[in-house]
Structure formats: structure tokens, C-alpha cells
Structure 1
């Protein structure tokens, strides 16, 4: 079973779509920091989903805590240049619906 840590408001419902696909979803409360990611279980997670590019520094934190975690960004905002090399998949919700993305990554 896939475990996903979701950070950000998730206005397009990727977290719910992942649950519909059978994934276990844990949401980060507040800002995605090392502490909040650890509490959410990033060290054992298969996926780190980020929906707020203002928190893009969380990508490097997640990768530091779990080098094998797959990073997916799902936002209308652009992924900052510094984080592009660490994200496995960057998707604009206007291009692919949440259920399609969830089906592909679970």
C-alpha cells in the first residue's frame, strides 16, 4: 500500500484522489518543516505531495529525511528553480485532473 504525505491546502483534491486509489494519506499541519514532516511520517512515506509552492523548501527537507521518497508537486504555481531537480513529477491541475494523477502515481 502506498503512503503519501500531503503538504499544502490541496485545493484541487489530490489527497482525496489518492485515498480513492487506496493510498494512505497523512496531511501536514501548518508549514512543512522537518518537525511537521517527521510527525506526518515522511521517513516511511512512498510519496511527498506538495500543493503550495511557497513551501518548496520542504522538498529538500523531505528528501533529506527520506532519500527514496517520490516528490510530486500539484499546483498552478511554478516550481521554483532550486527545487526542480528534486521533484519527480510537477503537474498543473489545469492540465491533469487529480484522479488521473492519483491513478498514475499510486
Structure 2
């Protein structure tokens, strides 16, 4: 996926409506994974405010040790729009 810009490519919305995101079938497990990726930073802020300092440090180290590689993996899997399309194709629909 190329971020939100990939939605402007022909057929992308129809692919999602048919039940596929990239190579994955839309399922409860996939949506739960998306929810976890979004909720972890918010949960860490809440825990930072509520946990004692020593426990908070340990928790931050453990979660960061898992969350940072996941984020790097997600970033590495995304391709930039300029690699797959003409640089100005995102403007073509609005300029013409």
C-alpha cells in the first residue's frame, strides 16, 4: 500500500470492497491487528501517566522493543508513489 494515495488508483476501492487489502483477506484478525497498531501508542501514554516510574520504564522498553521493529517493517513494505507512478500523476486529476 502507498498510504492514502493508493486509493486514487483505478480499481483500488473495488478491490477493498471485494474483501482484500493488499494480499490479505479482510477478517476480524486483520482488523484487530490494525486496531492494536493504532491503540498501542495511546495505551502507552495512559500507562506512562498511571504506572510507577520503575514499572513505566520497563514497560516502555519492552513495548518499544516490539513496536519499533513492527513500525520499521510497515515502513519498509510501503512504496513511495514516485516509484510506481509518474511523479505528477497525483495532480493530474485536479489539474485537468
Q: Is the shorter-chain TM-score for this pair beyond 0.5, marking a shared fold?
A: no
- TM-score band, normalised by shorter chain: under 0.3
Q: 1 or 2, which has the higher helix percentage? A: 2
Q: TM-score, normalised by structure 2?
A: 0.21
Q: Tell me the TM-score normalised to structure 1 length.
A: 0.20
Higher relative CO (Cα under 8 Å, sequence separation at least 6) belongs to 2
Q: Which has the higher strand share?
A: 1
